[in-house]
A and B are shown apart, each in its own frame.
Chain A
Amino acid sequence: MSPGGANSPRPRPQGGVRLAARPDAGAAGHDPPTEAALTTTLLATDGLTVRFGGHVAVDAVTCAFRAGELTAIVGPNGAGKTTYFNLISGQIAASAGRVSLMGEDITRLSVAERCRRGLGRAFQLTNLFPDLTVLENVRLVIQARERKGFGLLSTAASHSGITTAAEAVLDRVRLADRAGSKVSELSHGNQRKLEVAMLIALDPRVYMFDEPTAGMSVDEAPVVLDLIAELKHDSDRTILLVEHKMDVIRTLADRIIVLHNGALAADGPPAEVMASDVVQEAYMGKALEDV
């Protein structure tokens, strides 16, 4: 799979930015991914479409995501960003099109199977195990990653490696002091942090963050953003980030794609996408700058 071949998006009749051949490594990024990593497509969607009744929520989106790249996905409310994620991670079945992960077609696989193959997802609406402790939430993720779920005759507590790893993740999101609390007792900001912690604990090849800092206070958000920046150092992974805040996108993204009414409206390096007329007029002014 070469960057100019099967993975390049279908040319769309629009006047904005198109994904031309990728500029040399580091054109817009901050930690330039290596040449080798950039040529590896981890995740690709091909004509991905879903219709709800007559409404086309995601409209033939063709896009490839490479290792070592952080792609910001922007678009106004209801543009289909979350639905696009749902199609990729399998919560919603596609009406048409394909999703492939590391070259394999995963369109028909279950959510769990996609996850086991390296697709990790954090949710826009916090989605945790409310009656279990913070530590147990993360422990369950690591237990899943280690494929220990069918252990029947050992106690969970005896797998101290899993617990230690879970504590380490909690430490990274500054939640270690709440490890023993029930999730339902956490503040909204801390629940958002836990949501991110669970994705990090999964250690996937593809990270999908859906507005990770939404509703967080100004002093909480940087913890999460720093973590995402840290993840970028690993050139084996790819990160998809749905985000409304332009300053965040400016500092983190290597690439921006714009969804509008479910369709891919623009795709390219941040500077170009932000500068493009179509995006300026149609989305930046209204949807993005005001947040």
Chain B
Amino acid sequence: MLTAILSGDTPRSRILTVLLLAVLVCLAAAPFLFPGVRALETAATICIFIVLVASYDLLLGYTGIVSFAHTMFFGLGAYGVALASTHLGRSWGALLVGTASGAVAAAVLALLIGLFSLRVRAIFFAMITLAVASAVAVLVSQLFEITGGEDGLTYQIPRALTPAFRFGELFGVNLNGRIINYYLVFAASLVLFLLLLRIVNSPFGRVLQAIRENDFRAEAIGYRVVWYRTAATCLSAAVAALAGSLYAIWLRYVGPDTTLSFEIMLDILLMVVIGGMGTMYGAVLGAVIFVLAQNYLQSLMGVAAGAAEGLPVLPLLLDPNRWLMWLGILFILSVYFFPTGIVGRLRSGR
């Protein structure tokens, strides 16, 4: 039963199983285990980034395609919800329309990019995605009448999803719409992740892996490689857009910095590589570690710097503003010691 939900793709490592279960329990009970606005914020971001990173893994890890447009698709979903909520007014219908149109727009755009460039060399695809993504980012900040430009858009979502909606207390935690919103994000992320896990273990997913290994031979046994690559790009884009919609519903704000920035694209890459490419579960660990580090490394370093006060050099190194440097070091170390990512390492070291 459980194996069927996981599409037969079990963690295949005891430590990995324990880690994944811990993540699942923590996320499922986050509002009660870690009360507080910031903790819930972090938990929701983790859920959304797991989906975003997993959808990128479908492309990079399973199909062997390098794309720099993943945040663009993420942004399409987010702006879909924002625009629909702005123009159709606060309603569930607006969320639905925005989400659906974002996903469709992402898939169509991916189809166009794919048909245009996947026939040629893989590096060409990477360059095209880079160009299109940069163009879209510029466009979004220029068209401020529509997109709000650099300031982005704030909008209203159904009241049941906002903190203003209160409905009692449980385990000493005030129940409000924010918690409903969190569980919407959590449930949707879980379903999307399991869907991706199913896709990579389907006959289609096997073909993608064959293409990654040897596209020449995949074609020679009768698979039309371009179609498969294009289909994978569309699927991955649509799921990224859905993650973007969730992010927009959660934040009630979209802007270029939160959804479209190249920095996020790099973060996604790091999360896939740290977690382990082509494993899906790597997306979970990568996103958890990275988002936690992003949110808490700074404050942790602040504390450490305070403790090290008076010692030479150390406070300087531990200055909270240097957190990115430490993240970089962490990244280099992890790639050096776990070239196959955390999941790859755990599976081989059974």
Using a CB–CB distance below 8 Å, which chain A residues touch chain B? 89, 91, 110-113, 115-116, 121, 123, 127-132, 136, 139-141, 143-145, 148-157, 159, 198, 202
CB of A152 within 8 A of CB of B199, answer yes
Assess whether B12 is interfacial by the CB under 8 Å rule. Answer: no
Find chain B residues with CB under 8 A from A111 CB.
219-220
Q: Which residues of A contact B228 (CB under 8 A)?
A: 149
Contacts of B223 in A (CB 8 A): 112, 144, 149
8 residue pairs, one from A and one from B, having the closest CB atoms: A115-B222, A151-B203, A129-B213, A144-B222, A112-B224, A149-B207, A111-B219, A148-B203
Query: Once the chains are docked, how many angstroms separate the CA of A154 from the CA of B201?
Result: 8
Chain A positions within 8 Å of B224 at CB level: 110, 112-113
Could you give, for residues 221-262 of chain B, a 1 whenever the CB lies within 8 Å of some chain A CB and a 0 otherwise? 111110010010000000000000000000000000000000
Q: Return the contact of A140 from the options B201, B206, B219, B231 (Cβ within 8 A).
A: B206
B222 engages A159 (CB within 8 Å):
no
Chain B at the A interface: SS class: helix
CA A156 to CA B204, docked complex, whole Å: 8
- The chain B residue with its CB closest to the CB of A204 is B222
A residues in contact with B203, CB < 8 Å? 143, 148-151, 154, 156, 159
The answer to whether the Cβ of B7 comes within 8 Å of any Cβ in the partner chain is yes
Per the CB 8 Å criterion, the residue count for chain B at the interface is 27
Chain A residue numbers with a CB within 8 Å of B198 are 152-153, 155
Question: Contact check: which of A115, A123, A144, A154 meets B202 at CB < 8 Å?
Answer: A154
Taking the complex as formed, is B214 at the interface, i.e. its CB lies under 8 A from any CB of chain A? yes
> Quick check: is B55 within 8 A (CB to CB) of the other chain?
no
Q: Decide: B213 and A132 in contact? CB cutoff 8 A.
A: yes
Assuming A132-B209, A145-B222, A151-B203, what are 12 further A-B pairs, CB within 8 angstroms? A110-B219, A112-B223, A115-B222, A128-B214, A129-B209, A130-B214, A131-B213, A132-B210, A140-B206, A155-B202, A156-B201, A156-B205
Q: Which residues of B contact A144 (CB under 8 A)?
A: 207, 221-223
**Cα separation A136 to B203 with both chains bound (whole Å):** 11
Residues of B within 8 A of A151 (CB): 202-204
Query: Is B306's CB within 8 Å of the partner chain A?
Result: no
Q: How far is the CA of A127 from the CA of B218 in the complex (A)?
A: 10
Of A132, A140, A157, the most chain B CB neighbours within 10 A belong to A140
B225–A112 contact, CB under 8 A? yes
Contacts of A141 in B (CB 8 A): 221
Query: Given A130-B214, A132-B213, is A156 in contact with B220 using a C-beta cutoff of 8 Å?
Result: no
Minimum CB–CB distance from B327 to chain A (whole Å) comes to 30
Instruction: Please name 12 pairs of A and B residues whose Cβ atoms are closer than 8 Å in the assembled complex, sorted by A.
Output: A91-B216, A115-B222, A116-B222, A123-B217, A139-B206, A143-B207, A149-B207, A152-B204, A153-B202, A157-B201, A198-B221, A202-B221
Contact digits for B303-315, partner A, Cβ 8 Å, 1 yes 0 no:
0000000000000
> How distant is the Cα of A222 from the Cα of B30 in the complex, in angstroms?
64
Tell me which residues from 165 to 214 in chain B have a Cβ below 8 Å from any Cβ of chain A.
198-199, 201-207, 209-210, 213-214
Contact B222 A202 (CB under 8 A): yes
For residue B36, CB closer than 8 A to chain A, the reply is no
| Docked CA distance A144–B227 (Å) | 14
Determine the residue in chain B with the shortest Cβ distance to A142.
B221
Most buried by A among B207, B209, B210, B228: B210
